[in-house]
Structure 1
Amino acid sequence: MEAEAQRAPVGPSTRSFVRFDTAVLALTNARVIDGTGAAPRENHTVVIRDGRIASMGPTASTAVPAGALTVDMAGKTLMPGLVMVHEHLYYPVGAGTYANLTESFSRLYLAGGVTSMRTGGNMNGFAELLVAKAIARGEKPGPFIDATAPYLEGPGMGFNQVVALRDTSDAKALVSYWAAQGATSFKAYMNISRDELRVAAREAHARGLKITGHLCSVTYREAADAGIDDLEHGFFAMNDFVPNKKPDICVGRGGAATASMAQLDPNSADVQALFRYLIEKKVAVTSTLTIFETFTPGRPLPAGLDVLLPQLREEYERRHAATARNTQSPYLKAFAKGMAFERAFVKAGGTLIVGTDPTGGGGLVPGFSNQRALELLVEAGFSPLEAIRIGTLNGATYLGRGALTGSLEVGKLADLVVINGNPAVTIGDVRKVEWVFRQGVGYDPAAMIQSVRGKAGLW
Structure 2
Amino acid sequence: MKMVSQYHRAGSRISAARAAPAVLATLAVTAAAFADALAAQSYDRLSEETRAYVAVRGPTVALEHVRVIDGTGGPALEDQTVLLRDGRIAAVGPASSVSVPEDADRHDLGGHTVIPGMVGMHDHLFYTSVGGRRVQLGYSAPRLYLGSGVTTIRTTGSFTPYADVHLKDAVDRGDSPGPRIHITAPYITGSTGSPHQARMGSPEQARRFVEYWAEEGATWVKAYTSIGSAELGAAIEEAHRLGLRVTGHLCSVSFQEAVALGIDNLEHGMLTASDFVPEKEPDRCPGNIMQRAGGSDPTGPIARETIEAMVEAGVGLTATLAVYEAFFPDRDVVDERTLELMAPDLREAYLDERGRIQEIGPDPENFRNELRFEKAFVDAGGLLAAGVDPTGNGGALPGFGNQRNFELLLEAGLSAVQAVQVVSANGAKILGMDNELGTVEAGKVADLVVLNGDPGSDPSAIRAVRWVFKGGVGYDSRALIQATRGLVGIR
TM-score for both structures, normalised by structure 2: 0.89
Tell me the residue number matched to 2:55: 19
| 2:101 aligned partner, one-letter code | P
Counterpart check, 1:108 vs 2:144: yes
- Where structure 2 has 5 or more consecutive residues not aligned to the other structure, the ranges are 1-32
| 2:111 aligned partner, one-letter code | G
In structure 2, how many angstroms separate the alpha carbons of the residues matched to 1:102 and 1:78?
28
Tell me the residue number matched to 1:421: 453
In structure 2, how many angstroms separate the alpha carbons of the residues matched to 1:94 and 1:59?
49
Q: Is the 8 A contact 2:330 2:358 kept in 1?
A: yes
Tell me the residue number matched to 2:157: 121
Q: Is the 8 A contact 1:284 1:351 kept in 2?
A: yes
1:169 is paired with a residue whose SS is helix
Matching of residues 362-373 of structure 1 within 5 Å: 362-373=394-405
1:305 positional shift: 2.4
Tell me the residue number matched to 2:74: 38
1:73 positional shift: 1.1
User: Structure 1 stretch 236-245 or stretch 43-52: which is displaced more?
Assistant: 236-245
The change in CA–CA distance for 1:261 and 1:454 in structure 2 (over 3 A counts) is closer
Task: Identify which of 456, 459, 467 aligns with 1:435.
Answer: 467
1:269 positional shift: 3.2
Q: Is the 8 A contact 2:437 2:445 kept in 1?
A: yes
Q: Is the 8 A contact 2:323 2:401 kept in 1?
A: no
Q: Deviations over 1:311-348 (max 9, x none)?
A: 1111111111110001xx44422101111111111111
| 2:73 aligned partner, one-letter code | G
Instruction: Give the % identical residues.
Output: 42
Q: Is the 8 A contact 2:67 2:77 kept in 1?
A: yes
- Where structure 1 has 5 or more consecutive residues not aligned to the other structure, the ranges are none
Counterpart check, 1:453 vs 2:485: yes
**When the two structures are aligned, how many residues end up with a matched partner?**
453
1:14 is paired with a residue whose SS is helix
Q: Deviations over 1:259-278 (max 9, x none)?
A: 23422251x33431222111
Q: Deviations over 1:4-60 (max 9, x none)?
A: 534534112211111111211111111111111211111111111110001121111
In structure 2, how many angstroms separate the alpha carbons of the residues matched to 1:203 and 1:94?
37
Tell me the residue number matched to 1:221: 256
Counterpart check, 1:244 vs 2:276: no
1:169 positional shift: 1.7
Q: Is the 8 A contact 1:305 1:365 kept in 2?
A: no
Matching of residues 51-130 of structure 1 within 5 Å: 51-92=87-128, 96=132, 98-130=134-166
Superposition RMSD on alpha carbons, in Å?
1.5
In structure 2, how many angstroms separate the alpha carbons of the residues matched to 1:289 and 1:316?
18
Q: Is the 8 A contact 1:106 1:143 kept in 2?
A: yes
Task: Identify which of 235, 253, 259 aligns with 2:292.
Answer: 259
In structure 1, how many angstroms separate the alpha carbons of the residues matched to 2:298 and 2:131?
37
| 1:62 aligned partner, one-letter code | V
1:133 is paired with a residue whose SS is helix
In structure 1, how many angstroms separate the alpha carbons of the residues matched to 2:202 and 2:78?
57
In structure 2, how many angstroms separate the alpha carbons of the residues matched to 1:331 and 1:137?
47
In structure 2, how many angstroms separate the alpha carbons of the residues matched to 1:192 and 1:153?
4
In structure 1, how many angstroms separate the alpha carbons of the residues matched to 2:331 and 2:460?
16
Tell me the residue number matched to 2:393: 361
Tell me the residue number matched to 1:294: 326
In structure 1, how many angstroms separate the alpha carbons of the residues matched to 2:342 and 2:247?
29
1:250 is paired with a residue whose SS is coil
In structure 1, how many angstroms separate the alpha carbons of the residues matched to 2:490 and 2:279?
44
Tell me the residue number matched to 1:315: 349
Q: Is the 8 A contact 2:269 2:319 kept in 1?
A: yes
